[in-house]
Structure 1
Amino acid sequence: MSSPSTSPTAERFPNGPFTRYMVGEGISMTGTWMQGMALGWVMTEVVVRDGLQNYEGLLQAAPHLASGLVMLALFRFGGACADRHDKRFILQVCQIAQIGFALAIGQLIAHGSLHTWHLIVAAALLGVSSSFEMPAAAAIVPELVAKENVAKAISVDRAVFHATRLVGPAAAGYLVGRYGAEWAFYLNAASFLALMGALATLPRRPQGTVEEEQKRQGGAGEGFRHVRQDKPSLAMVALLATNTLFVFPVIIVLLPLYAKNDLHATPEQMGLLMLCSGLGSVSGSLLIMALRPSLRRIAILIGMVLACGALVSLSQSHELIWAGVSLVCLAVGVSTLVGLANTIVQERSPAELRGRVSAVAGLSFFGFLPFAAIIMGVMTDLFELRNVLLGSSICYAIIGFIVMLTVGSKVTGEQEQETSVN
């Protein structure tokens, strides 16, 4: 392990540790996006092979439900561990576990032995790993830079995350169509090694004051308390939850069904649609990096309008190009809103609570996504997918704008304008 590092206050941005971590994360996330696209496509085939096509929408959401319920049960513990223990070690253990999952599913696909229940069980096991990985990954980025560079670091982290969506899904579409879906899983397993190598080079976090170190040992409920008392953070978590309920299931759960059944797309074309989504997400992340804090509220509102309009457009689309442009707009809106929300939450979080606050912010995604995915899946089985897209847009607009009307005036991200309540 590296020896304790000095405070990064005087360091330029980006510094060496942050750059190495971003490179490793970029390679790893490319593999993760490859696997995600391949998994959605494989599920559409496995469900038919198992004779369960009448429940295709529900079963497409089932892995997300299994993973999300596990994370919902463990996220408090994962957030507390991220504050109390070495985040590098937590992340390395999680990478090893995910390598095992990817290799196992790849082997089942290669031998023609994969069934629906395999994917659901694997998703539940992956949820255990993600319960610890997500809070640690969210909390480690601000520790690698000076305090005044936290917003920039989070924006770069989000940009890298979304930029990999430009490469991963398109590469997966090519691999699935030419060599078989198992290769997306094998290459994802290999990609984790890059992040593990980067983590091994990172310094320990600087030692805090006695009071800060004592607070790190506090209960998981401290994260909830901070978010509840800090109005801008609470508003951002509410908006993240609204996105999870009405928008994320479209991108994560329904897109493979939409591409295959409504657009009659090939695996390669499915990869191109996800590439369009990634392009929009990168654009949104880059916009955030250049955005002044005083413009954050209007940027969030514009993001909501873009997302709502894109959902309506997708509900009417019958052409691949039309759907691709709509996905770009949807991703720009969602990326802007989610990126700003996470930035504001991290900026306003005390360092000693960052892991637990990250877990609360993550709950707005993983806590709601299982139920949102199942509801969307059932609605898709009962009604046409296009009607579900239109309904999602209406619900998202109503609830999202109500949140902004009630608490949006306090959302600037500038702590000097509103003192956080301790």
Structure 2
Amino acid sequence: MASDVPDGPPEPGPFAPLKQPGFRWLWPAVVVSYVGVWGQTIGAQWLLVNGPNASVTVALIQTAATLPMMLFTLPGGVIADRFDRRWIILIVQVYVAVAALSLAALTVAGLASPPVVLLFTFLVALGGAFQVPAWQATLPEIVPKDELAAATRLEMVGVNFGRSVGPAIAGLLIGLAGVPWVFVLTAATALVLAGSLLTWRRPPLTVAPPAPERFLPALRAGVRYVRHAPMVRRILLRAMMFIAPATILWALIPLVARERLDVSAGGYGALFGALGVGAIVAALTIGRLRGVMSTNTLLVLSGIVYAGVLVTLVLVPVFWVAELALVLGGAAWTATISSLNAELQLVLPAWVRARGLSVYLVTFTGSQAIASVLWGQLAAVTGVVIAFLVAAALVTATSIAGIFLRTPNVADTDPTKASYWGDVVAPIGLQPSDGPIVVTVEYTVAQPDQASFLDSTAQLRRSRLRNGASRWEFYRVAETPDTFVENFTVDSWEEHQAQHRDRLTATDEQIEQTTQSYVSTPVRARHLIPPTIADDTPAEPSPSRRRQRRS
């Protein structure tokens, strides 16, 4: 079993981030926006729950609400890393308000057919694909590093508070005034967050933000970083293993409420309320648990508890039992998701943080979107009870697998920016789009140290590829066997400058120091460029050079 040794020193209290002015001002407004978004989802599901093929169409609402996150969160992360995140979130809130009010008008007009409801659910969720990475990447700017895990859990409390209070308010509005007012609520809560952003007194940044990059190169760089960061990949795999089976609860709880518990809209909202209570319990207790057990142990235990909740919901169709079970379910879900999210926040460097979080959200929501369809289809064929039992078995199996697939220790990496390469001075005037650039580094290593030196180059390769290299090669010089040559290719001069300026971290510096500790003479680095790139010096080229260019 994974060691129960804690991963680090005890964390600050669960509400410590609220002492930070930025978090104290913005987080409540973000929570209010979650109330509106989840209210919209419940209103949409309630429009379809009594229609034909309800088990499929209700599950498709969950898919429509998560599919935009899968498709557009990564571009949203690129935008969040390039532009002012405050204005990104503000613009998104205005867009969400317009979309929600449009759906309310269509519902009043009697035009809210299943395709229309699914379309507008997709459009409202599209705003979240751009808001969430911008907001989550803002957290490390407004809370200290040692409070980041607590801030992430409070963020999960906010999400689950929205999941509980939003449906509860939606149920009351449906009963008192009708479904269209649920969508009006969504628009109003979006405008609350917009107003908070406009009145936020943002403190000056203590560290200069990374220089903006072109969209497509920035997108490729984000994907490349995740591909070559083993710690990030392990976190993503653990998230997918849990979310795919666990998402049945969010996709099919309307059917459990109707078929197994026989509750009204108000009772349906109360079920979500229990999940919210569980999220709050998790936020208050997980920090203390992390002082006595490792993250991996916490994830395994949370998964097993969650599987028990799924079984209880369908085998014990008693309302108060379901309420108690959902409190545990909300706590287990929050413990798992917030722990994985906090681990990821701690290992991502600033230059790629929003993009890395976006890949996590793509994994999260992609697993939800695909799994929701599959669970809906399975429930349509076998019934809700069998579907939930199958999901519980899978959650149990993936939790046990987590014993062997341990999460990385975040203490092993330091994402702090470390610009130790210095500036590149090239006599030829290079344009940002010029490339590719091949960087060659020459090492001289004595024979007794060569085995250790070669072992260290595996970490060096991953470091180069994480930070922007599209290709990495390593050679030994036949004529001088003590000489080794490293080549790594960067697609453009602009991206190589970004490596020097923004992308190197303390971990990368340590990797290079380890490799160079075996070198007997100073390393020599050169930059190779395509021969067709012209020298932009004012001197007129010689006739021979002109003939060479024409040829």
TM-score, length-normalised on structure 1?
0.87
Amino acid at match of 2:329: L
The alignment partner of 1:213 has SS state of coil
Q: How much has 1:76 moved relative to structure 2?
A: 2.3
Residue of structure 2 in register with 1:178 after alignment: 176
Name stretches of at least 5 consecutive residues in structure 2 with no aligned partner.
Answer: 1-15, 416-505, 512-551
1:414 counterpart = 2:401: no
Q: Flag the structure with higher strand content.
A: 2
Q: Flag the structure with higher helix content.
A: 1
Residue of structure 2 in register with 1:269 after alignment: 267
Checking the alignment, whether the CA contact within 8 Å between 1:347 and 1:413 is kept in structure 2 is: yes
The 5 Å alignment of 1:10-409 reads 14-45=19-50, 48=51, 53=52, 55-200=53-198, 201-203=200-202, 206=205, 208=207, 212-213=210-211, 219-251=218-250, 253-292=251-290, 295-402=294-401, 404-408=402-406
Distance 1:77 1:164, change over 3 A: closer
Q: Distance in 2 between matches of 1:223 and 1:285?
A: 30
Q: How much has 1:141 moved relative to structure 2?
A: 1.7
Distance 1:122 1:13, change over 3 A: closer
Amino acid at match of 2:19: P
Distance 1:38 1:297, change over 3 A: same
Distance 1:27 1:316, change over 3 A: same
Identity %: 22
Amino acid at match of 1:315: V
Larger mean CA deviation between 325-334 and 213-222 belongs to 213-222
Amino acid at match of 2:333: V
Amino acid at match of 2:268: M
Checking the alignment, whether the CA contact within 8 Å between 2:41 and 2:121 is kept in structure 1 is: no
Distance 1:405 1:221, change over 3 A: farther
Amino acid at match of 2:118: I
Distance 1:181 1:415, change over 3 A: farther
Larger mean CA deviation between 162-171 and 381-390 belongs to 162-171
Q: How much has 1:377 moved relative to structure 2?
A: 0.9
Q: Distance in 2 between matches of 1:123 and 1:373?
A: 15
Q: Distance in 2 between matches of 1:258 and 1:26?
A: 27
Q: How much has 1:209 moved relative to structure 2?
A: 5.1
Larger mean CA deviation between 298-307 and 285-294 belongs to 285-294
Q: Distance in 1 between matches of 2:78 and 2:414?
A: 29
Distance 1:124 1:27, change over 3 A: closer
Q: How much has 1:221 moved relative to structure 2?
A: 3.5
The alignment partner of 2:185 has SS state of helix
The alignment partner of 2:294 has SS state of helix
Q: How much has 1:335 moved relative to structure 2?
A: 0.9
Distance 1:85 1:417, change over 3 A: closer
- Residues 137-172 of structure 1: CA distance to partner in whole angstroms, max 9, x if unpaired? 221122112333322322222223323444322222
Q: Distance in 2 between matches of 1:415 and 1:224?
A: 22
Distance 1:249 1:89, change over 3 A: farther
Q: How much has 1:13 moved relative to structure 2?
A: 5.9
- Residues 99-151 of structure 1: CA distance to partner in whole angstroms, max 9, x if unpaired? 11211222233333311011111123234322212211221122112333322
Q: Distance in 2 between matches of 1:376 and 1:369?
A: 10
Residue of structure 1 in register with 2:489 after alignment: none
TM-score, length-normalised on structure 2?
0.67
Aligned residue pairs total 401
Q: Distance in 2 between matches of 1:369 and 1:61?
A: 10
Q: Distance in 1 between matches of 2:90 and 2:208?
A: 27
Q: Distance in 2 between matches of 1:165 and 1:120?
A: 19
Larger mean CA deviation between 94-103 and 109-118 belongs to 109-118
Residue of structure 1 in register with 2:424 after alignment: none
Q: How much has 1:412 moved relative to structure 2?
A: 4.1
The alignment partner of 1:290 has SS state of helix
Q: How much has 1:215 moved relative to structure 2?
A: 7.4
Q: Distance in 1 between matches of 2:208 and 2:26?
A: 26
Checking the alignment, whether the CA contact within 8 Å between 2:137 and 2:353 is kept in structure 1 is: yes
Q: Distance in 2 between matches of 1:190 and 1:12?
A: 26
Distance 1:65 1:112, change over 3 A: same
Q: Distance in 2 between matches of 1:163 and 1:67?
A: 18
Which structure ranks higher in relative contact order (CA pairs < 8 Å, sequence separation ≥ 6)?
A: 1
Distance 1:69 1:35, change over 3 A: closer
Distance 1:57 1:349, change over 3 A: same
Q: Distance in 2 between matches of 1:286 and 1:144?
A: 21
Distance 1:104 1:230, change over 3 A: same
Q: Distance in 2 between matches of 1:205 and 1:169?
A: 38
Distance 1:28 1:74, change over 3 A: closer
The alignment partner of 1:114 has SS state of coil
- Residues 218-255 of structure 1: CA distance to partner in whole angstroms, max 9, x if unpaired? 5224334444444443232112212321112322x201
Larger mean CA deviation between 127-136 and 73-82 belongs to 127-136
Amino acid at match of 1:377: G
Distance 1:303 1:32, change over 3 A: same
Q: How much has 1:374 moved relative to structure 2?
A: 0.9
Q: Which has the larger radius of gyration?
A: 2
Q: How much has 1:190 moved relative to structure 2?
A: 0.8
Larger mean CA deviation between 307-316 and 152-161 belongs to 152-161
Distance 1:333 1:367, change over 3 A: same
Amino acid at match of 1:414: A
Distance 1:287 1:233, change over 3 A: farther
